[in-house]
């Protein structure tokens, strides 16, 4: 059975749209039963953790045959707070479900698990409200680094908007393609427009030939309408549209006559 590793953020995950087993990674597992889908999408996940997640999944289940990556916003960072070689997400915290009661080829990250070995720094984390889970995560980060919450906020307010984030994305793109091979990797973004000629990012990120575009462009005027919020995150209907767009590219990726 071929192994497909999928990396993404909350846009690829099912949690915000309350559509477990109906997200586009689950639909890939459903429609390609000869493949086992390992859904490594993580709410808040940053681009700079893409290869880390692939590598740690590989250490547990072996090398993937194919990789699909949904790139996200530049203004995010993943910080590992543990010096050991313990996987960031112990694989015991991944679950394998039967999709539609028939397929047991879908393994996913359960968002109820919150690692104490790392933190995803996003603008919303810096705008935490006392007493919330995000505030507790920021306090944990401060305790681990021996820095004040104020200092952490000041630094990352600059860092998340710095040009370093573009270089971090370029390194991830080049690294994933080099390790797994461009013919085995499919890339796209949600609505960032990294691939747009003439955009602000055109001369700072080299978009490879295996990057197929963005969901925003593919769905056009339906992109925001399908959202359950303004991000937009999708529920089952939106994930189905994403799957329909991806499916011919996935068939080509798998060299499958399905």
- What are the DSSP calls for the chain, one per residue? -EEEEEE--TTTSSTTTT-TT-SHHHHHHHH-TTEEEEE---TT--GGGHHHHHHHHHHHH---SEEEEEE--SS-EEEE---S---SS-GGGEEEEEETTTEEEEEEE-TT---SSEEEE-HHHHT--TTSHHHHHHHHHHHHHT--HHHHHHHHHHHTTSTHHHHHHHHHHHHHHHHH-GGGEEEEESS--TT-TTSTTTTT----TTEEEEHHHHHTTHHHHTBSSSS--B-HHHHHHHHHHHHHHHHHHHT---
pLDDT of residue 257: 42
Among the listed residues 65, 103, 60, 56, the one whose alpha carbon sits nearest the alpha carbon of residue 84: 56
* Within-domain flag for 20: yes
Q: Are residues 190 and 216 in the same domain?
A: yes
Asked if pLDDT for residue 136 goes beyond 80, the answer is yes
Domain tally for the chain?
2
Q: Are residues 135 and 12 in the same domain?
A: no
pTM metric for this prediction: 0.90
Q: Are residues 91 and 131 in the same domain?
A: no
Q: Are residues 52 and 108 in the same domain?
A: yes
Q: How many CA atoms lie within 13 A of 152 on its CB side?
A: 25
Q: Are residues 128 and 228 in the same domain?
A: no
* Within-domain flag for 117: no
Neighbours of 198 (CB within 10 A): 7
Given a contact cutoff of 8 angstroms between Cβ atoms, the answer to whether 60 and 109 are in contact is no
User: Average pLDDT in the 42-61 region?
Assistant: 91
Q: Are residues 191 and 132 in the same domain?
A: no
Q: Is 190 or 79 the better-scoring residue by pLDDT?
A: 190
Can you read off the two tokens belonging to residue 243? 């799957």
pLDDT of residue 144: 86
18-39 pLDDT, tens digit per residue, is: 999 999 999 999 999 999 999 9
User: Average pLDDT in the 92-110 region?
Assistant: 73
Q: Count the residues in the chain.
A: 258
The confidence band for 140, taking pLDDT boundaries of 50, 70 and 90, is confident
Q: Domain residues for 44?
A: 2-112+164-254
* Within-domain flag for 118: no
215-248 pLDDT, tens digit per residue, is: 999 999 999 999 999 999 999 999 999 999 999 9
pLDDT of residue 79: 86
* Within-domain flag for 193: yes
Alpha carbons 97 and 130: distance in angstroms, whole number: 36
């Amino acid at each position: 059975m071929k192994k497909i590793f999928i990396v993404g953020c909350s846009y690829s995950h099912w949690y915000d749209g309350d559509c477990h087993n109906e997200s586009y990674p689950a639909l890939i597992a459903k429609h390609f039963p000869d493949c086992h889908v390992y859904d490594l999408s993580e709410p808040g996940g940053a681009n700079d953790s893409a290869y880390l997640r692939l590598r740690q999944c590989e250490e547990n289940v072996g090398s993937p045959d194919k990789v699909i990556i949904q790139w996200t916003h530049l203004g995010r960072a993943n910080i590992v707070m543990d010096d050991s070689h313990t996987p960031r997400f112990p694989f015991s915290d991944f679950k394998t479900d039967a999709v539609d009661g028939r397929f047991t080829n879908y393994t996913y990250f359960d968002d109820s698990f919150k690692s104490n070995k790392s933190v995803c720094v996003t603008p919303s984390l810096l705008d935490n409200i006392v007493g919330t889970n995000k505030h507790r995560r920021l306090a944990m980060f401060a305790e681990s680094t021996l820095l004040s919450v104020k200092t952490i906020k000041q630094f990352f307010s600059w860092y998340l908007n710095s040009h370093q984030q573009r270089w971090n994305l370029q390194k991830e793109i080049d690294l994933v393609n080099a390790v797994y091979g461009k013919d085995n990797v499919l890339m796209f973004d949600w609505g960032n427009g990294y691939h747009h000629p003439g955009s602000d990012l055109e001369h700072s990120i080299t978009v490879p030939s295996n990057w197929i575009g963005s969901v925003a462009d593919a769905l056009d005027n339906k992109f925001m309408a399908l959202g359950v919020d303004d991000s937009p995150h999708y529920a089952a209907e939106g994930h189905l549209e994403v799957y329909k767009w991806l499916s011919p590219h996935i068939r080509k990726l798998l060299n499958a006559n399905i």
